[in-house]
Amino acid sequence: MTATSASGEIMEAPEAGADVLARSGGLEARLARSAGEIEAAQRLRFEVFYREMKAQPTPEMAASGRDFDRYDEFCDHLLVFDHDAGGAVVGCYRLLRRDVAARHGGFYSAAEYDLTSLLANSPPDAKFLELGRSCVAREYRSSQVMQFMWRGLLAYLIRNDIELMFGCASLPGTDPQSMKVELAYLHHFHAVPPELPQVRALPQRYVDMNLLPRESIDPLQALHELPPLVKGYIRAGAYIGDGAVIDDQFNTTDVFIYFPTSRLDKRLRAFLTKRMKS
């Protein structure tokens, strides 16, 4: 299988391995099988990140109308297709397993967070998965579609025996003071516990999330204010790393998602598993 590299050249992409991950009506979640399907995901990412969220594309990205980088070459791409709309790609996740990252220069999130403790304090064969480049087309942003993407992701986790998911998730904007309630809430109520390996933003990029005292925060209101993806991770059982990072290119403030799969909410796991069997 081939795909398009960050330089725009044709290159080899990973084998899909697992086939269909989930189906519901006209929706299908599976790994990309071809260069064309990966490029469809890149076009969706460009539409969401650059046209809608006002990220700053490179000239090459702007010319092609696609979001791409070198990681697309070897990641798995979980795609959601709507066969009632001609097979359009309406959602995507980019998935990077630890063994693959080790062969290709490491994880994407290492550009923002120090992963040293996380990697050093785990067995070398521990099954880690980095999540990234998640987005859903505007007209498909419902809880039903988000749950469907999670069904596909859960199937992938099970098939690959994943023990820990992690990655950067974004809050819109680059002014931490404008989101101080949300950042302080994540810091005080959902930090990685001290008995687990700690992940901290790189010193030169570190933004303190402790912007308000814990007692001044209404947890329910703060949770409500979070973007849907971050809110979904928190409700499902994820922790948050130490420090936020400003991403000027993407016009976002990033936080580190630290999600042992053993923490996946039992009710959510049961619900998704039941739907997988239906």
**pLDDT, tens digit (0-9, with 9 covering 90-100), for 39-69:** 999 999 999 999 999 999 999 999 999 999 9
> Which region, left, alpha or beta, applies to residue 25 given φ > 0 means left and ψ of -120 to 50 means alpha?
left
The domain defined by 2-277 folds into Aminopeptidase (3.40.630)
- Phi and psi dihedrals of 124, rounded to 5? -60, -20
Q: What local confidence, expressed as pLDDT, does residue 274 receive?
A: 64
Among 17-26, 97-106, 217-226, the range scoring the smallest mean pLDDT is 17-26
* Rounded Cα gap, residues 175 and 66, in angstroms: 27
- pLDDT (0 to 100) of residue 29: 94
Tokens in use for 139?
């007209």
Report phi then psi at 168, rounded to 5.
Answer: -95, 135
Q: What is the mean pLDDT of the segment spanning 249-263?
A: 94
Q: What is the pLDDT of residue 5?
A: 41
3-state secondary structure of 225: helix
pLDDT of residue 144: 79
Using alpha carbons only, give the angle 184, 186, 191 rounded to the nearest 5 degrees.
Answer: 115
Contact 172, 226 (CB under 8 A): no
- State yes or no: pLDDT of 4 exceeds 70: no
Helix 143-159 / helix 266-277 crossing angle, nearest 10 deg: 90
Q: Which of 9-18, 171-180, 234-243, 253-262 has the lowest mean pLDDT?
A: 9-18
- Does the pTM surpass 0.85? The reply is yes
pLDDT at 17 over 50: no
The pLDDT-based confidence of 276 (bands split at 50, 70, 90) is low
- Average model confidence (pLDDT) for the chain? 90
